[in-house]
Structure 1
Amino acid sequence: MILYPAIDLKDGQCVRLLRGEMSAATVFGDDPAAQALKFQDAGCQWLHLVDLNGAFAGAPVNGAAVEAILKAIKVPTQLGGGIRDMATIAMWLEKGLSRVILGTVAVENPALVREAARAFPGQVAVGIDARKGFVATKGWAEETNVQATDLARSFEDAGVAAIIYTDIDRDGAMGGPNIEATEALARAVSIPVIASGGVSRMADLHALKATGVIAGAISGRALYDGAIDLTEALKALA
């Protein structure tokens, strides 16, 4: 199971939100590229980036910070937030991203996800953010009547590289991930599923890995707070 350290970008800074609330942002640093280098030096295999402003704006906002990170590090990097058309997907992949994450458009324009997955094999992931099992879009501001499992199943034949499943109510709350829901989703589809939201201690990582079906886990606040030591966690998961 791969551990993805998370860098959430708001106004050019590294932050963590509480349950997706932009007004509940804790700033952890104003040099995202330096933070990315710290994660790389600790031995991470991947990095997970989110353009939080972009998720609300529907277009990239923290592009300069993302580009600085891509220039600073060598490990593969995935990005979500504000990526809603083919031009933006192509732009980010050309700039060196290894994978784009499509969230809102997966609900609103699933044909785009299919087109992108065909055009860029292995480089397109779907972000499914759910509250009580139902998908939320536009930076989690809008709730839908689409069930997370149904959305995931609809992309079974699309060739997407991964599904990043976030339980919004757990995100940034340091209360542990929703292992039951994440495992159920991973068992419902053949696409690799990455867990996000609430991963706050080593026991969470061990529990996710023990399911045998969850391909990865994203952690942010716990790494910044020191609740999880990244080097130790990477060794344990290896």
Structure 2
Amino acid sequence: MNTTNAQAIKPTIVLVHGAFAESSSWNGVLTQLNEKGYSTVAVANPLRSVKSDADYVASILKSIEGPTVLVGHSYGGAVITNAVNGNENVKALVYVAAFAPDTGETAVELSGRYPGSTLGPALAPPVATPDGGKDLYIQQDKFHAQFAADVPAAAAQLMASTQRPITEAALNEASGTPAWQSIPSWFIYGDRDLNIPAAALSFMAERANSRETVVVSDASHVVMVSHPDVVAGLIEHAATAEWNS
């Protein structure tokens, strides 16, 4: 592949949100990327299971022509890790406060491997689903402090009201062969993340041989909402990199 020719065309940026969020969590980042001429797609992640969510994202990727940069937030990182499926158009992965699991690892195990996550006590009682599963939400009165502490209270309340649930099973589902073993990756996260401890995020970035890791001081789990300029900047670094170098 000729990286010079590849960079002549801006890649499409595909963004995958995580649990307790939805596509609008990328709005600040999307605004900046769109202004710079990037084509963007913010996927509505089903949040049902790692495999089915990854398969859904993979189907979207197959519909996009040309190079693609795949971005995941939180649980969305596990999804992008499994969604590439040999798609040669995916040139870079960007993990935004996100899981980058290895084969057999789960979100629950990774977030608990290091101290600091307070997500468990912040969850509401599970909601039973018709298929016998359980949907998880964050209690609305704890959402601001737990999930988005550096976001204005009014904006955090809107996020709490519009949060989308994830199945309990998805957070305990083993990941497959990781795309970060063969595709270059970039990482960004806040040092005050209460969902995934910063130590866990640092471990995953180092293990994936991150091309560039940005740690945002005092940032919460939704660093893309509170610091969209920094997140968009890192995505652009990934989008303009010589991917095969």
Bin of the TM-score, shorter chain as denominator length: 0.3 to 0.5
Q: Of the two structures, which has the highest relative contact order with CA contacts closer than 8 Å and spacing of 6 or more?
A: 2
Q: Which has the higher strand share?
A: 1
TM-score, normalising length: structure 2: 0.36
TM-score, normalising length: structure 1: 0.37
